[in-house]
A and B are shown apart, each in its own frame.
Chain A
């Protein structure tokens, strides 16, 4: 018989372990969720093609690495650039011409766009699952009794940097402020000369770039294939809903919370529940607090 206390100790140790691994998954969800939020705030539509940007990031990096034998950093940068280009072209071809359509048809168009991008990726890259090498060694590190892979630290570090950059952009640059102004009061924004079309384009560019980065940094751990965008997109969407569609802190916490819950649920209950947990949380939020957990009293939107 184990001495008393021992079991609870392994239990808390396990919880710490699950929480740690959930944290980096959650960081990925945050990045994807911020992409959803940025586009939502500038256009009022949910861009269901967001997950495909994530897929493109990982898949393109794999192909630049394995087929063109580019160095890692070059492959990553090229993938981010190309995915951003896809995001911009998508806005130009699918969203801008229909700007006056109602939001529902635009959302359906993004679903169509997502199916199209996924289809092209399948034809181009095949149906296999791939992995890209970790950014540094694969030796687990031990932190406070729990182990963590260096790639997890990369994920957390890069996500943190991006969120900081994002914050800087939205609060300290004129274009970032203009985008926020546009989402708060579109009419007043256009009266000071802020071109709404340009803001929408920038928001697609940023969101697709963020998505592709998320796809790249997670690929060494979770593998990538032409259809990873579906699930990752939905999880990111879920993070954004928890965060009340904020393109900042709210969605970051939403993603982290989701990642941790998922990991705890999968570890302590059954891994079969992993995906279900996201949707249970999503439904709970929509029923109980549709404005998200982290949104203060609704700021005025015009």
Chain B
């Protein structure tokens, strides 16, 4: 469904992505793991058209989409939930969701359908539904993350790109958010590309994973195999050490 072939992305002189290739099948959850600065965010932004790759190819449902502007990428069906949430702080929760459906308004979709989807998001995240008129900037971190996901879902994406949704959140909230991500696949067969620091949690819900190091893919395997891979455990599943001490 989404196929990335040998892309190279630069920030000025900095060669941030080196010949990255990856793919994502319909309804699949795939995770990208890697240390800080490995290029995870850059991959998502290259897919979203924010930092277009200099060469290589990004194909989505058979269409070559590299070089498309970010809004056209969204229109194609790829939405991103950016690192740090980036909700529209001076807008109400409801306005944020409406803005998520901007292209659907522009394409003259029925308002009642969009309203219904807004209610669906409130169904997904009941915590938001009592806060419709609250300014997004005053929400808690977890609520902002839910809102950012809800906003992305309002575009009815076929592929959802998630950049570190668990960052700075309490374990319980992370659990809730991950549950929603898993349900997306079940209910809407949305494919998910999940970037996570919390590699263990991500690998537990993912089908496959890619391991990234300094702009290169160094490993691609089933999530379960990655969880058991010794090198991966040592480098990215550091939490184990804590368990060892506790023993």
Interface residue ranges, A against B (CB under 8 Å): 174, 177-178, 180-181, 184-185, 187-197, 299-300, 302
Name the 8 nearest CB pairs between A and B, nearest first: A193-B74, A190-B70, A193-B103, A188-B86, A195-B71, A174-B105, A193-B71, A181-B88
Asked whether, in the complex, the Cβ of A174 is within 8 Å of the Cβ of B86, the reply is no
Question: Can you name the residue of chain A whose Cβ is closest to the Cβ of B49?
Answer: A190
Question: Can you name the residue of chain B whose Cβ is closest to the Cβ of A302?
Answer: B86
Q: Within residues 135 to 159 of chain B, which ones have a CB less than 8 A from any CB in chain A?
A: 137, 151-152, 154-155
B91 at the interface (CB under 8 A from A): yes
Asked whether, in the complex, the Cβ of B89 is within 8 Å of the Cβ of A194, the reply is no
B229 at the interface (CB under 8 A from A): no
Residues of chain B lying within 8 A (CB to CB) of residue A302: 86
- The docked-state distance in angstroms from the alpha carbon of A302 to that of B87 is 11
Interface residue ranges, B against A (CB under 8 Å): 48-50, 69-71, 74-75, 79-80, 82, 86-91, 95, 98-100, 102-103, 105-106, 137, 151-152, 154-155
Residues of chain B lying within 8 A (CB to CB) of residue A185: 86, 88-89
Residues of chain B lying within 8 A (CB to CB) of residue A177: 91, 95, 98-99
Q: Shortest beta-carbon distance, A173 to chain B, in Å?
A: 9
- The docked-state distance in angstroms from the alpha carbon of A174 to that of B49 is 23
Asked whether, in the complex, the Cβ of B74 is within 8 Å of the Cβ of A192, the reply is yes
Q: Shortest beta-carbon distance, B41 to chain A, in Å?
A: 12
Asked whether, in the complex, the Cβ of A192 is within 8 Å of the Cβ of B89, the reply is no
- The docked-state distance in angstroms from the alpha carbon of A181 to that of B137 is 13
User: Please, could you name 27 A-B residue pairs with CB atoms under 8 Å apart, sorted by A?
Assistant: A174-B99, A174-B102, A174-B105, A177-B95, A180-B90, A180-B91, A181-B99, A185-B86, A187-B86, A188-B82, A188-B87, A190-B50, A191-B50, A191-B74, A191-B86, A191-B152, A192-B99, A192-B100, A192-B152, A193-B75, A193-B103, A194-B102, A195-B69, A299-B89, A299-B90, A300-B137, A302-B86
- The docked-state distance in angstroms from the alpha carbon of A68 to that of B86 is 54
Residues of chain A lying within 8 A (CB to CB) of residue B90: 180, 184, 299
Q: Shortest beta-carbon distance, B93 to chain A, in Å?
A: 13
Q: Shortest beta-carbon distance, A41 to chain B, in Å?
A: 12
Secondary structure class of chain A's binding surface, majority of residues: helix
Can you add 5 more A-B contacts, CB < 8 Å, to A184-B88, A193-B71? A185-B88, A187-B50, A187-B86, A191-B79, A195-B69
Q: Shortest beta-carbon distance, B178 to chain A, in Å?
A: 21
- The docked-state distance in angstroms from the alpha carbon of A299 to that of B91 is 12
Q: Shortest beta-carbon distance, A114 to chain B, in Å?
A: 30
Asked whether, in the complex, the Cβ of B88 is within 8 Å of the Cβ of A191, the reply is no
Point out the residue from A180, A187, A193 that lies within 8 Å of B102, measured CB to CB. Answer: A193
Asked whether, in the complex, the Cβ of B89 is within 8 Å of the Cβ of A300, the reply is yes
Question: Can you name the residue of chain B whose Cβ is closest to the Cβ of A191?
Answer: B80
Asked whether, in the complex, the Cβ of A178 is within 8 Å of the Cβ of B99, the reply is yes
Q: Shortest beta-carbon distance, A18 to chain B, in Å?
A: 38
Point out the residue from B86, B89, B155 that lies within 8 Å of A193, measured CB to CB. Answer: B155
Asked whether, in the complex, the Cβ of B99 is within 8 Å of the Cβ of A191, the reply is no
Q: Shortest beta-carbon distance, A250 to chain B, in Å?
A: 15
Residues of chain A lying within 8 A (CB to CB) of residue B70: 190-191, 193
- The docked-state distance in angstroms from the alpha carbon of A178 to that of B87 is 13
- The docked-state distance in angstroms from the alpha carbon of A184 to that of B102 is 16
Contact A184 B99, CB 8 Å, known A190-B50, A191-B74: no
Residues of chain B lying within 8 A (CB to CB) of residue A180: 90-91
Residue from the set A174, A197, A299 with the largest chain B CB neighbour count within 10 Å: A174
- The docked-state distance in angstroms from the alpha carbon of A196 to that of B75 is 14
- The docked-state distance in angstroms from the alpha carbon of A188 to that of B137 is 14
Q: Shortest beta-carbon distance, B105 to chain A, in Å?
A: 4
Question: Can you name the residue of chain A whose Cβ is closest to the Cβ of B80?
Answer: A191
- The docked-state distance in angstroms from the alpha carbon of A184 to that of B88 is 7
Q: Shortest beta-carbon distance, A129 to chain B, in Å?
A: 45
Residues of chain A lying within 8 A (CB to CB) of residue B154: 192
- The docked-state distance in angstroms from the alpha carbon of A180 to that of B99 is 11
- The docked-state distance in angstroms from the alpha carbon of A7 to that of B102 is 62
Residues of chain A lying within 8 A (CB to CB) of residue B88: 181, 184-185, 188-189
Asked whether, in the complex, the Cβ of A194 is within 8 Å of the Cβ of B69, the reply is no
Point out the residue from A190, A192, A197 that lies within 8 Å of B151, measured CB to CB. Answer: A192
Residues of chain B lying within 8 A (CB to CB) of residue A188: 82, 86-88
- The docked-state distance in angstroms from the alpha carbon of A89 to that of B238 is 58
Residues of chain B lying within 8 A (CB to CB) of residue A300: 89, 137
Question: Can you name the residue of chain B whose Cβ is closest to the Cβ of A194?
Answer: B102
Question: Can you name the residue of chain A whose Cβ is closest to the Cβ of B154?
Answer: A192
- The docked-state distance in angstroms from the alpha carbon of A181 to that of B151 is 13
Q: Shortest beta-carbon distance, A209 to chain B, in Å?
A: 21
Asked whether, in the complex, the Cβ of B82 is within 8 Å of the Cβ of A187, the reply is yes
Residues of chain B lying within 8 A (CB to CB) of residue A178: 99, 102
Residues of chain B lying within 8 A (CB to CB) of residue A192: 74, 79, 99-100, 102-103, 151-152, 154-155
- The docked-state distance in angstroms from the alpha carbon of A300 to that of B87 is 12
- The docked-state distance in angstroms from the alpha carbon of A197 to that of B70 is 11
Q: Shortest beta-carbon distance, A227 to chain B, in Å?
A: 39
- The docked-state distance in angstroms from the alpha carbon of A194 to that of B106 is 10
- The docked-state distance in angstroms from the alpha carbon of A177 to that of B105 is 12
